[in-house]
Amino acid sequence: MQPLIKLENVEKTYKMGDQKVTALDKINLEIYPEDFVSIQGPSGSGKSTIVNMIGCLDTPSKGEIYLEKHNIAHLPESDLAQIRGKKIGFIFQIFNLIPSLTALENVALPMTFQNIPRYMRLKRAQELLNQVGLSNRLKHLPSELSGGQKQRVAIARSLINNPEIILADEPTGNLDIKTGNEIMQILKDFNKKGKTIILVTHNPELTKLANKKIILKDGKIIGG
Ligand SMILES: Nc1ncnc2c1ncn2[C@@H]1O[C@H](COP(=O)(O)OP(=O)(O)O)[C@@H](O)[C@H]1O
Ligand SMILES: [Mg+2]
């Protein structure tokens, strides 16, 4: 089987004045369709950097990144944005919902710039909110939802364009243990339905659902 994502000798360095910060140091990694990958490591070890590269939010200083057969390591932002919109769903620790939009509108938002009528966008958003157990909160604003409910909205939003890959960067970091476990179970269910999931977490307990585990330290993979 072909890897869905392949990183070859990926390096990311930042210049801070006359200092060089190495965020990723010769990373080699293959991720296959329907993998559930966990990425662990201390703060500053490069977890978000690796996720941002895979998510086409950033490009490496050196090395190659293949998404299916396409090398995305050196593409301009306009191309990256296109790929991102079609293939990748993002879930973040801080939810990133728009405060003035309802749950339904937040979920539908990434579909806005497609040539699809509004009622169809809202119908699809409603289906996804049903799938994450929020059919009774469609008209609620983010401020009227609990943390776990906000993260469910964010999960539904990440799926709206039917991406193959879900990138979740510490999605349970702001949630209590029970709610975090519920969120993980939802991710696992979508994994079983065919989504490839890449999960960044501090919590070793949460890596139990992963079939592939990566531990980062100082920008290097030191184990799994
Ligand atoms: N935009 C940036 N400019 C400079 N240094 C950065 C930038 N983003 C990340 N870094 C540095 O790269 C390293 C890895 O960061 P990050 O991937 O955010 O770590 P993690 O997500 O594991 O906490 C850190 O040392 C961080 O300070
Ligand atoms: Mg991070």
Residue 56 is encoded by which pair of tokens?
A: 């086409």
Mutation to probe ligand 1, out of 11, 14, 92 (largest number of atoms < 8 A from CB) = 14
Q: Tell me, what's the pLDDT at 205? A: 86
Yes or no: say if 185 and 12 are a contact pair by the CB < 8 Å rule.
Answer: no
Yes or no: say if 37 and 199 are a contact pair by the CB < 8 Å rule.
Answer: yes
Yes or no: say if 99 and 86 are a contact pair by the CB < 8 Å rule.
Answer: no
Q: What ligand is nearest to the CA atom of residue 94?
A: 2
Domains of the chain, CATH where assigned: 33-60+76-223 (3.40.50.300)
User: What phi, psi does 179 have (nearest 5°)?
Assistant: -65, -40
- Contacts of residue 116, Cβ cutoff 8 Å, sequence gap at least 6: none
Angle of the 177-192 helix axis to the 147-158 helix axis, nearest 10: 20
Quote the CA–CA distance of 208 and 223 in Å, as a whole number.
Answer: 15
Report the Cα 33 to chain-centroid distance in Å: 15
Yes or no: say if 221 and 214 are a contact pair by the CB < 8 Å rule.
Answer: yes
Q: Tell me, what's the pLDDT at 165? A: 98
Q: Give residue 200 CA to ligand 1 midpoint distance, Å.
A: 14
- Contacts of residue 98, Cβ cutoff 8 Å, sequence gap at least 6: 105, 106, 109, 142
Ligand 1, CB cutoff 6 Å, lining residues? 14, 16, 21, 23, 41, 43-49
Mutation to probe ligand 1, out of 13, 18, 22, 48 (largest number of atoms < 8 A from CB) = 48
Yes or no: say if 95 and 153 are a contact pair by the CB < 8 Å rule.
Answer: yes
First to last CA, the chain: 21
Q: Tell me, what's the pLDDT at 99? A: 97
What is the bridge-based pairing of β-strands 220-223 and 212-217?
antiparallel
Secondary structure string (H, E, C) spanning 155-209: HHHHCCCCCCEEEEECCCCCCCHHHHHHHHHHHHHHHHCCCEEEEECCCHHHHHH
Exposed (0-12), middle (13-18) or buried (19+): which is 203, by Cβ within 10 Å?
middle
Positions in the chain short of pLDDT 70: none
Yes or no: say if 32 and 197 are a contact pair by the CB < 8 Å rule.
Answer: no
Q: Give residue 12 CA to ligand 1 midpoint distance, Å.
A: 10
